[in-house]
Amino acid sequence: MSSHIAINGRFQQRRITGVDRYAHEISKRLTMPNYFITPSYSLGRVTGHLWEQLFLPARIRTRDLLWSPANTGPWTVQNQIITIHDASVFDHPEWFDPTFALWTRLSWKVLAKRAKAIFTVSNFSRERLKFHLEIPEEKIHVIHNGVGKPFEPQPQKSIERVKEKYGIKKPYFLFVGTKEPRKNLAGLAQAWKLLGTRSHSLFIAGAEGNVFANQTHHEVLLNQTYVPDEDLPALYSGATSVINPSVYEGFGLTILEAMACGAPVIAADISVFREIFDGTVLFFNPYYPNELASTIQKVTEDKSCTNVLIEKSLAHASRFSWDESARRTQTILESLA
């Protein structure tokens, strides 16, 4: 048996998104002997791939198992497990920069054949990856994302602090995520325009993606603000509702974080959200902005509905924890080391 798990630490030099949060939360909870292999400074997309392919393999100790938790890994390392979060680059390559999409599809096909196993975060992602990469059933393992501190209901003082920090003066609906095609911000903007409400505002928290196709957001008149991790729990907690209008996801981590903070959630009716969140959120068809507008209206007017959603959210979020996700991850790492 290998004595250690080597962790591909390329993610440690990046601003945290959902994929990177998973990598941080799982890796810091592993209790088996492990060590990180991390670039000494922040790398770009191309230089990051070069470091991963050329320099990372040389730093793995003999017989140690490499875990690459953030969608990429070195081709030459067979004693490796890689986490791939979803198959969107195959299902919707038009959403991505063409060079990125081509490289990623090629890389995943190579890694799927060479790696010992693949982790993913939902049954939906497992089935799509099996289809595109022709992975046998026993080689791919589903381990759900988790949630934990500091994502929990926040005191009113903290909520007021973040509202003041970001200039939020009205009750607000919240979107959290990277600006990219799958997030359906255009549909959200159309729904908000149809709603025409003056009693609430819409706050868009996130960052620009750098691997996605150029988008024409002529209808997206939404200001987007990057929000650091320390402000997210209070921002979730203070929201009238959190909206996730995505047309494609591998899991839906922002929904789970919002639930853990006691926020009612409005979510697109897509397969993976039905798998993970059925019965605990208000669903709408993401291709019909008028349906989203009606759902937002329902939340603003029906307090009893909102209270039920909050109760369901907290109960459902309690079923997911990073501790359990890490325990399951470690069990499989140990068995394959």
Token pair 């790492």 in the structure block, residue:
333
Strand ranges, E, within the chain? 5-8, 34-37, 65-68, 80-83, 117-120, 140-142, 172-176, 201-205, 224-225, 241-244, 265-268, 282-284
Total-model pTM? 0.92
> What is the overall mean pLDDT for the chain?
92
**Distance (Å, whole) CA 101 – CA 327:** 32
Across 171-180, average pLDDT: 93
Domain boundaries for CATH 3.40.50.2000 within the chain? 5-146+321-336, 156-317
For the segment 275-300, the average pLDDT, to the nearest whole number, is: 96
CA distance 330 to 322: 12
**Distance separating the N- and C-terminal Cα atoms of the chain:** 6
- Radius of gyration of the chain from its Cα atoms, rounded to whole angstroms: 20
For 252-268, write each residue's pLDDT tens digit. 999 999 999 999 999 99
Residue 215 pLDDT: 52
The 10s digit of each residue's pLDDT in 15-42 is 777 788 999 999 999 999 999 999 988 7
The CATH number of the structural domain formed by 156-317 is: 3.40.50.2000
**94-125 pLDDT per residue, tens:** 999 999 999 999 999 999 999 999 999 999 99
Q: One-letter amino acid identity for 214? A: N
Q: Are 241 and 173 in contact (CB under 8 A)?
A: yes
Candidate from 79-88, 134-143, 201-210 with smallest mean pLDDT:
201-210
Share of the chain above pLDDT 90, in %: 83
Question: Residue 69: pLDDT band by 50, 70, 90 thresholds?
Answer: very high
Q: Give the mean model confidence (pLDDT) for residues 76-96.
A: 96
Among 256, 259, 278, which Cα is nearest to 322's? 256
For 170, other C-beta atoms within 10 Å of its C-beta total 13
Q: Which fold has domain 5-146+321-336?
A: Rossmann fold (3.40.50)
Q: Where are the beta strands (DSSP E) in 94-200?
A: 117-120, 140-142, 172-176
| Residue 218, both tokens | 């002529």
* pLDDT of 169 above 60: yes
What integer is the mean pLDDT of 153-177? 96
Greater model confidence, 130 or 45:
130
